[in-house]
Amino acid sequence: MHHSSDLYRFVRFANILLLSCGLALMLDQSMAAAFDRFEQVPHWRSDDRAIMVVDKTGDRAWNEATTFAVNAWNGSTSGTGLRLTWSRGTGPCAAGGARIEICQDPYQALGDDMHNDREGLTDLRLGSDRSQAHIGGTTISVCSNCRLEPPRRRVIASHEVGHALGLEHTSSLASVMFPTGGSNRPTAQDASTLRQLYGHIDRADHCGFFNLRAGPLCF
C-alpha cells in the first residue's frame, strides 16, 4: 500500500510537470507571436550595427564592386543604426562578429536548387540567442570565373550585401533585391524595408516563459 501511494504521488507530480511545461511553451509561443514580425527576420542586433565589410577576393574588379555596394547601402541606412565600412583582407572567409566577409569561388561551387544564377551567394549565420533572429556572422561568395563585366559585378555585390543585412528577395524588377538583381543600388522601397526591419528596440534575450533552459528546450 505504501508503494502504491508513492507511485500515485509520482504520477501526479509528473502530470503536473508536463502540464506546466506545455502551458509555458504555449505562452512562450503566444508572447513571441505578439512581438513585431520583423524581430523574427534575420537582422543585426543593436550593438552590432557598425559592420565591417572585408573583401578577401584579392581581385581589383571585385574590390571596386564591393566598395560600390558599401557606399550604395550606406546611402539607404538612415533610421536603422547601420553603418558599413570597407576594407581588404586575406585568407579564407569566416562567419563571426559584426563582419561581412567576401571571398571568391568558382561558378561550379556556387548555387543550388534555390540559387541557380551562380554569380553570388550569401551564407548568413544566426547568433546564439533563442528568441530573436539576430545575425551572428555572414560570408558572401562571388564568382571567380564568370567573366563578369563591372556593371554586373556591382549589381551582384549590392544584392548580396542586401542579403547580408537581412533582406529577402522581392518581386519588384527595379529592386536590388530582385532574385537576379534589378538594380545596382537600393531603391526607396528597399530603404523603407530596411528601416522596417531595423525599426524596433532589441529586447533582452528570453528563453521561454520562465527564462529557463534545459538543453535545446526553453521553459
Residues 22-66: tens digit of each pLDDT: 444 443 443 343 344 556 789 999 889 999 999 999 999 999 999
CA 190 – CA 18 distance, rounded (Å): 46
Q: 108 falls in which pLDDT band (50, 70, 90)?
A: confident
- Look at 56 and 131; give whichever has higher pLDDT: 56
Sequence-separated (6 or more) residues with CB below 8 Å from residue 218: 25, 28, 130, 131, 207, 208, 212
Instruction: Answer yes or no: CATH 3.40.390.10 is held by domain 46-198.
Output: yes
Helices (H), 41-166: 60-74, 150-164
Query: Could you give the percent of the chain with pLDDT greater than 70?
Result: 70
- Look at 93 and 31; give whichever has higher pLDDT: 93
Q: Give the domain ranges of the chain.
A: 1-34, 46-198
Length of the chain, please?
219
Contact 100, 140 (CB under 8 A): yes
Q: 98 falls in which pLDDT band (50, 70, 90)?
A: very high
Residue 128: per-residue pLDDT: 77
SS3 of the chain: helix, strand, coil, percent, to 5:
40, 20, 45
Q: 207 falls in which pLDDT band (50, 70, 90)?
A: low
How far, rounded to the nearest angstrom, does the alpha carbon of residue 132 sit from its chain's CA centroid? 11
Residues 183-201: tens digit of each pLDDT: 999 999 999 999 999 987 7
- Look at 213 and 92; give whichever has higher pLDDT: 92
